[in-house]
Chain A
């Protein structure tokens, strides 16, 4: 094999796939099920035109409703994300408060925490009160000047939306976007953790994912109340 040219070797592999890869025939029960489907479809086909016109009317109606002005969000998750983003924005605008005993005041303990590294510098920690939940926020700044806010809150009744989950290293946090901010959300035991930044471009998101891994792996919060 090694004396073959790349083209010949590629062709040989193609032939091997065609001739040696086992082919699986559809089982009998599947064949029967598909035949039944074909029969049903034929019977319902004539009704399709009528249904299509009704469906079109429904779509037009739904579009109209969707285009109506939106009111404030009522979804608790969306409200929480907006509140956390607002907390992050406040820090960007006014800076983090200097609270030395933030953890003690927050009701959240940290068995260990990310203290920064060559990419992220730890800025400060402060207690927060978000959506009637007492928690703690840790702020970091990266080499490009982005502020990254890590928030931990009691997690009762806060589901992490499965459809928003993304694979980041060995974790699957939800990645949520709101008004120019990106937020990673995940659970650690009874707590819900959020990492917020204004890093939203594809390149920034990749960096943000790395920051998430650093914070996620090095920080272990626990309820201290």
Chain B
């Protein structure tokens, strides 16, 4: 694959990456930054991409790793008030708060429920169910065994179903 081919193929996944970034970070401006950083890294390290493997999964993997390493640190620091008490909860590996703080417009119960899932549950549903990635690719993106992916999908759906039921009651 030539350099031009690689870039052309990588750019074909822009919409999918943006959609993933938006659901991951819950903030359009940060989704922009995250996607740009993902492409920057992908182009910089394109020689590390193994031809024959899925470029789409590789890009998702870069995006998620970037999110976890860079954004987690930044948001945690930003969330800390002077007295050590957080100004607001920054969801990452914990359940997100109900209030999304207006960072991203949410129109449906499904979106609202998805936002309240922990990051690893949200990611697994977005990749496996929304993007339709094979479980092996999801496992690669999340750096865990396929069995763990299956288990997370099951538990994520259980949690999602409970949240949706709560919304239906109200």
Query: Which residues of chain A have a CB within 8 Å of any CB of chain B?
Result: 9-10, 13-14, 16-18, 20-27, 29-31, 33-35, 37-38, 41-42, 45, 48, 160, 162-163, 165, 167, 170-173, 186-189
B119 to chain A, nearest CB (A): 14
Contact B110 A17 (CB under 8 A): yes
Q: Which chain A residues lie closer than 8 Å to B35 at the CB level?
A: 26, 30, 34
Complex CA distance for A48 and B45, rounded to whole angstroms: 10
Known A-B contacts A10-B157, A18-B130, A24-B22; the reply to A172 vs B36 at CB < 8 A is no
Q: Which chain B residues lie closer than 8 Å to A189 at the CB level?
A: 83
Q: Which chain A residues lie closer than 8 Å to B3 at the CB level?
A: 42, 45
The reply to whether the CB of B141 lies closer than 8 angstroms to some CB of chain A is no
Q: Which chain A residues lie closer than 8 Å to B36 at the CB level?
A: 30, 33-34, 37
Contact A18 B157 (CB under 8 A): no
Interface 0/1 of B26-69, CB less than 8 Å to A: 00100010011001100110000000000000000000000000
For chain A, what secondary structure do more than half of its interface residues adopt (helix, strand, loop), or is it mixed?
A: helix
Known A-B contacts A37-B43, A38-B11, A163-B77; the reply to A21 vs B111 at CB < 8 A is yes
Contact A48 B44 (CB under 8 A): yes
Q: Which chain A residues lie closer than 8 Å to B28 at the CB level?
A: 27
Across the interface, B40 reaches (CB within 8 A) one of A41, A48, A162, namely A41
Contact A17 B130 (CB under 8 A): yes
Contact A24 B19 (CB under 8 A): yes
Contact B85 A171 (CB under 8 A): yes
B36 to chain A, nearest CB (A): 6
